[in-house]
Structure 1
Amino acid sequence: MIKKSLVPLALGGFGIGMTEFVIMGILPDIATGLQISIPQAGYLITAYALGVVVGAPTLVSMLAHRPPRSVLMWFMLMFTVFNAMSAFAPNFEVMMLSRFMAGLPHGAFFGVGSVVAARLADEGKVAAALATMFTGLTLANVIGVPAGTWLGHNLSWRAVFLVVALIGLATVFALRQLVPHIDSQARTSLRHDLRIFRSRALWLALAITSIGTGGFFAFFSYIAPLLTEVTRFKPSTIPMVMTVVGVGMTVGVLLGGRLADRVPPLQAILILLASMTVLLLCNGLFAGSQPAMLVLAFATGANALALGPPIQMLLMEHSREAEMLGSSLGQSGFNVGNATGAFLGGIPLTLGYSYASPQWVAAGLALAGVGLALAMLAHGRARALVPA
């Protein structure tokens, strides 16, 4: 049974997951509304991801000495304001700015939220508690993203970001009511926190996260035009396919949580990145088959989110001196992957190749993640092989 105190973390994850992933489903609508090309609209994904990368370590370092519950509330207020700004953006430039600003509290929320979830977790259930928080993100892909995609197609893409803003506001109240007060950490200097970056293992873990997950985002960033132009799904069926991806993500994050509580995190990551490489290759090979793409949509979504809990545990294990900062780096890494995947996946499209071409870029990035995981093992990082 899910702890009541973890529900606001899952709700915040739902809002964050919706605003991050729904843009992939309504990318053509945004491009039409702002009178820009689809590759240009893809830069909005990159802008949000860069906001996460900048905001996660910066905001956490600034506010780590404050009580975690109040910090989470401030993050979600920022999230609410800047998603509302996205809804009313009059042009591409303002939309780029609003997406960057909306990304700032994303990683910081998950960073602080991960520490809160770990403190609220029962003995031996830390990864399961983290998975509960990330379940909100995955449920966004089951409910929020398909609903938002339908809303964007049939009403207005601007209405989607207004809904996200309302979810952010609801999260603020839920945090106030359901999350107990947790004492703040002893105040340390920024220099002290930055000591965690002396660890080569931490840098390797970040590289694995940033490059390996880029494969999924190179696939997911252009999923709507891939399905309509290559697989020949009707635009009206895209929300259904996004639901399939979301169900896969929900299943995957729960399995990833169980896996990370049973085997060493790095071993779990290596297995999942290897299977991700195979799935992304299959997405390119079978892009013309509707039944195959439905199966692959589920499997790829499950594989991608199963990586979340073991990556989070690996980063926390190598950042004990500044746990909140280290925990926030997971989302920074994911969104470096998001920005990298969206950018690199768009290059073959700008060169005139088909919408199936990003899949080859995606598989290459996932395979690079496998290589980095093997390098971490080869360096004899025994600490990474000990379950938290």
Structure 2
Amino acid sequence: MNTPSNTSDEFHMGWLLFALAMGAFAIGTTEFASMTLLPFIANDFQTTQPLTGHAISAYALGVVVGSPVIMVLGVRLPRRALLVGLAAFIGVANALSAVAPSLPWLVFFRFLSGFPHGAYFGVAMLLAASLVPKNQRAQAVSRVFMGLTIATIIGVPFATWIGQTVGWRWGMAIVAVLAAITALLIRSLAPASPAQADASPLRELNALRSRQVWLTLGIAGIGFGGIFCVYTYLAATLIEVTHASDLMIPVVMAVFGLGTTVGNLVCGWAADRATMRAAGISLGFTALVLALYPSSTDNLWLLIPLVFFIGCGVGLAAILQTRLMDVAPHAQSLAGALVQSAFNLANAIGPWVGGIVIAAGFGLPATGYAAAALTLGGLGMWYWAVTDARRAALRFTSDAANQA
């Protein structure tokens, strides 16, 4: 492990973390802005919002499929080369999304856009964590992830405003430019270190034998779905239920982004001290806020603080990313990508569940109740993971005592 030894090293690492965070910023903008732009995309292609939501689910499924595939096949590549290639992939796929001639083509290009998402985060966060002492890993991970949270403050509202004034396609084009800049910065700043000599696809896949790995992924895949269930239809809720002006939509999205940034910083700090306890508190708090969401949707000034607190729940990502580093120590590349797959499985489940609720006639506000149920499901997975870890620790202690 390398740690900065002087001011020059710290300065260089700061710029490297900035470059890695810029890639996260591009990813966050394209992922979340596609949700806020949903009404405008549907209008452009003259189709319904639930049907247009398939483009969002396609992106998420691209992450689910692409992350493990890329990480297993690219495990022997140097991290710098892999990150540059992934950033370039993101740029090309988003450029294609910007010129999609029809909804089916957009769905396909969104699938491609999601393909490098998890692998980029997995490699970038591992690189960041390798530069700091062990007790600062979660904070280093959160600094990279902060690029995504800042995207929800600046990138998503800006892309939403662009979508309203010029057209949603320009939002995708901006992401392509950001990804190209990211590739150049990483090429210039990341160390040209070789891949690990003992790295192999089989070794990475061995991580899948661990029940704790699967339980952690389950927490992400189910529990995180609640946030996406509400966020996907938030713009539509603001327009059709809250009757807010179009200008308020980017403002509310920025409030959500402020919540994600605060939650990310707090959860990164908490995860370095008590990882699983922080996860449980985060899930319980988010479930409560989501349950309150439906009763606030007809009042903008009640809705705004709740949107902020819902955004705080995104901090769970830094916690679970750190947890996977602990439970899969010999397969951290795959583990880092798999947690992104799990989050984006949640990104597919959340809009799908929300669409079912809306199509069944329960209305846009009812997505909050469905979201709370999903988050409580993640809390159940968390409880299972905690009790399983305790039992394993007791068995280990008992076996050690018997051997003595």
Q: TM-score, normalised by structure 1?
A: 0.96
Instruction: Give the SS at the match of 2:194.
Output: coil
The amino acid of 1:151's aligned partner reads: I
The equivalent of 2:282 in structure 1 is 272
Please give the residue correspondences for 1:227-238 in structure 2 after superposition, counting only pairs within 5 Å: 227-238=238-249
CA RMSD of aligned residues (A): 1.6
Contact 2:139 2:272 in 1 (8 A): yes
How many angstroms apart in 2 are the aligned matches of 1:123 and 1:344?
A: 38
Q: CA deviation at 1:348?
A: 1.5
The equivalent of 1:225 in structure 2 is 236
How many angstroms apart in 1 are the aligned matches of 2:222 and 2:214?
A: 12
The amino acid of 1:289's aligned partner reads: N
The counterpart of 2:58, out of the listed 34, 47, 51, is 47
The amino acid of 1:57's aligned partner reads: P
Instruction: Give the SS at the match of 2:130.
Output: helix
Contact 1:256 1:305 in 2 (8 A): no
Identify if the C-alpha distance between structure 1 residues 295 and 331 changes in structure 2 by more than 3 Å, giving closer, same or farther.
Answer: same
Q: CA deviation at 1:30?
A: 0.3
The equivalent of 2:373 in structure 1 is 364
The amino acid of 1:6's aligned partner reads: L
Contact 1:80 1:165 in 2 (8 A): yes
How many angstroms apart in 1 are the aligned matches of 2:65 and 2:255?
A: 31
Instruction: Give the SS at the match of 1:208.
Output: helix
How many angstroms apart in 1 are the aligned matches of 2:233 and 2:57?
A: 13
- Per-residue CA deviations over 1:167-203 (Å, capped at 9, x if unaligned) read 0000001101122222311254433321111111111
The counterpart of 2:314, out of the listed 305, 314, 317, is 305
Computing the radius of gyration from Cα coordinates, the structure with the larger value is: 2
The equivalent of 1:158 in structure 2 is 169
Identify if the C-alpha distance between structure 1 residues 381 and 41 changes in structure 2 by more than 3 Å, giving closer, same or farther.
Answer: farther
Contact 1:117 1:130 in 2 (8 A): yes
The amino acid of 1:292's aligned partner reads: L
Contact 1:201 1:381 in 2 (8 A): no
Contact 2:279 2:320 in 1 (8 A): yes
Stretch deviating more after TM superposition (90-99 or 176-185)? 176-185
Instruction: Give the SS at the match of 2:244.
Output: coil
- Per-residue CA deviations over 1:224-254 (Å, capped at 9, x if unaligned) read 0111111221122100110111111111111
Contact 2:60 2:347 in 1 (8 A): yes
How many angstroms apart in 1 are the aligned matches of 2:65 and 2:198?
A: 22
The equivalent of 2:402 in structure 1 is none
Alignment partner of 1:242 is 2:253? yes
How many angstroms apart in 1 are the aligned matches of 2:72 and 2:134?
A: 28
Q: Identity of aligned pairs, percent?
A: 38
The equivalent of 1:336 in structure 2 is 345
Alignment partner of 1:67 is 2:99? no
Instruction: Give the SS at the match of 2:273.
Output: coil
How many angstroms apart in 2 are the aligned matches of 1:237 and 1:12?
A: 27
The counterpart of 2:383, out of the listed 352, 355, 374, is 374
The counterpart of 1:351, out of the listed 357, 360, 366, is 360
Gap regions ≥5 residues in structure 1: none
Q: CA deviation at 1:121?
A: 2.1
Contact 1:64 1:187 in 2 (8 A): no
Stretch deviating more after TM superposition (93-102 or 230-239)? 230-239
Instruction: Give the SS at the match of 1:3.
Output: helix
How many angstroms apart in 2 are the aligned matches of 1:191 and 1:175?
A: 28
The amino acid of 1:107's aligned partner reads: G
Alignment partner of 1:179 is 2:190? yes
How many angstroms apart in 2 are the aligned matches of 1:55 and 1:31?
A: 26
How many angstroms apart in 1 are the aligned matches of 2:262 and 2:392?
A: 28
How many angstroms apart in 1 are the aligned matches of 2:232 and 2:197?
A: 41
Please give the residue correspondences for 1:33-112 in structure 2 after superposition, counting only pairs within 5 Å: 33-112=44-123
How many angstroms apart in 2 are the aligned matches of 1:27 and 1:94?
A: 16
The equivalent of 2:137 in structure 1 is 126
Instruction: Give the SS at the match of 2:208.
Output: helix
The equivalent of 2:293 in structure 1 is 283
Stretch deviating more after TM superposition (341-350 or 181-190)? 181-190
Identify if the C-alpha distance between structure 1 residues 103 and 383 changes in structure 2 by more than 3 Å, giving closer, same or farther.
Answer: farther
The counterpart of 1:215, out of the listed 201, 226, 229, is 226
How many angstroms apart in 1 are the aligned matches of 2:363 and 2:32?
A: 22
Contact 2:29 2:175 in 1 (8 A): yes
Q: CA deviation at 1:383?
A: 7.9
Contact 1:142 1:246 in 2 (8 A): yes
How many angstroms apart in 2 are the aligned matches of 1:194 and 1:380?
A: 21
